[in-house]
Amino acid sequence: GESVGLHLPTLSVQEGDNSIINCAYSNSASDYFIWYKQESGKGPQFIIDIRSNMDKRQGQRVTVLLNKTVKHLSLQIAATQPGDSAVYFCAENIVGATNKLIFGTGTLLAVQP
Amino acid sequence: NAGVTQTPKFQVLKTGQSMTLQCAQDMNHNSMYWYRQDPGMGLRLIYYSASEGTTDKGEVPNGYNVSRLNKREFSLRLESAAPSQTSVYFCASSEALAEQETQYFGPGTRLLVL
């Protein structure tokens, strides 16, 4: 079946560097994408979302890019901080699927001081 | 404003025991969800409730039942726990069961079935 996947299961970056976390999706009918952050022992926390009629959206220190041609989603974190260390995963919502999100397995971001 | 709360935080059960996981949200959301999260796998939807009084099966409903007690509360019940139900359970809510409505998650319940 179609699913959301991540290219890199673990990403290690230096504090202050920019981080890029990638996500590939295979369902061309998906029209809404969300990035969540999950810290150890906690529930997923909404970071940013993007709709399929956009290719870029910016938040505070985060940017999500959507490339529908190659079905690729990325999360960019500027000036990565130790508090950014967490598992990040993307989720997609398929048109007509009434908010039944499909989640990826996650990428662990480890920020080195 | 606490958002989504879940009780208990941790639970250990023996095979065959029953228990109910509680979830409440104070955001006046109409829709609520139960997920399980297992190592190496993404969150999988167990059941959801579009609005008060309605519930529907998700991807992995077998072995579970749910009750949408009122608009705030959505409980998940394991009638006869099995080791395969060892997992972390998350409740979530959204304003509506519509596409592109953001889901907000609780802190999770960690369940171990021996």
Q: What does the alpha-carbon distance between residue B52 and residue A96 come to, in Å, rounded to a whole number?
A: 21
pLDDT tens-digit map of B70-107: 999 999 999 999 999 999 999 999 987 766 678 899 99
Q: What does the alpha-carbon distance between residue A92 and residue A101 come to, in Å, rounded to a whole number?
A: 5
Q: What is the pLDDT along chain A (113 residues), one digit of tens a residue?
A: 334 544 448 999 999 999 999 999 878 888 889 999 999 889 999 999 999 999 999 999 999 999 999 999 999 999 999 999 999 999 988 766 555 788 888 899 999 98
Inspect the interface and report whether the beta carbons of B100 and A49 lie closer than 8 Å: yes
pLDDT score at A9? 84
Q: What does the alpha-carbon distance between residue A62 and residue A20 come to, in Å, rounded to a whole number?
A: 10
Residue B58 has pLDDT above 50, yes or no: yes
Answer whether B90 touches A (CB < 8 Å).
Answer: yes
Closest CA to A25 of A56, A54, A3: A3
pLDDT tens-digit map of B34-44: 999 988 778 99
- How far away is chain B from the Cα of A30, in angstroms, using its nearest Cα? 10
DSSP 3-state of B84? helix
Query: Would you tell me how many other CB atoms lie within 10 Å of the CB of residue A27?
Result: 17
Answer whether B97 touches A (CB < 8 Å).
Answer: yes
Nearest to B98 among A99, A101, A102 (CB): A99
pLDDT score at B40? 74
- How far away is chain A from the Cα of B89, in angstroms, using its nearest Cα? 9
Residue B53 has pLDDT above 80, yes or no: yes
